[in-house]
Amino acid sequence: MKRNVVIVAAVALAVVSAPGARATVPPRDCGMVTVKSKRFQIKADQITCRTAKTYSRRYLGHHTRPSGYRCSDSPKSTKLRFRCSKNVRVFFAIRR
């Protein structure tokens, strides 16, 4: 009887202490910005929309990337113009 209680307690502790799987959340739609008479939809993940839009305007207008971010331009044949990331923080622009 005592052994069963110990086993049940050990299993319950293992279930409670096991890390849960994180849900995958799509990037947040931050709205549209216009740069050099072209419209872009900005999307961001793990940063505020205000920051993402500021960084996007700067990158699209002057090709200046934010400090610490890695940015890559996409081919002209795709709607995606660029993507910048820093660890889990990501923002990108889609031509509309």
Q: Determine, yes or no, domain membership for 77.
A: yes
- Give the tens place of pLDDT for each residue, 51-86: 999 999 999 999 999 999 999 999 999 999 999 999
Strands (E), 1-96: 28-35, 38-45, 70-73, 80-86, 89-95
Q: Determine, yes or no, domain membership for 14.
A: no
0.85 surpassed by pTM: no
Q: Determine, yes or no, domain membership for 69.
A: yes
- Give the tens place of pLDDT for each residue, 5-27: 555 555 555 554 555 566 788 99
Q: Determine, yes or no, domain membership for 39.
A: yes
Number of Cβ atoms within 10 Å of the Cβ of 49: 15
Contact (Cβ atoms closer than 8 angstroms) between residue 71 and residue 60: no
Q: Pick the closest to residue 48 from 32, 18, 27, 63 (CA basis).
A: 27
According to the model, what pLDDT value does residue 13 have?
55
Q: Determine, yes or no, domain membership for 38.
A: yes
Q: Is the pLDDT of residue 28 over 80?
A: yes
Q: How many domains would you assign to the chain?
A: 1
Q: Determine, yes or no, domain membership for 83.
A: yes
The whole domain housing 41 covers 23-95
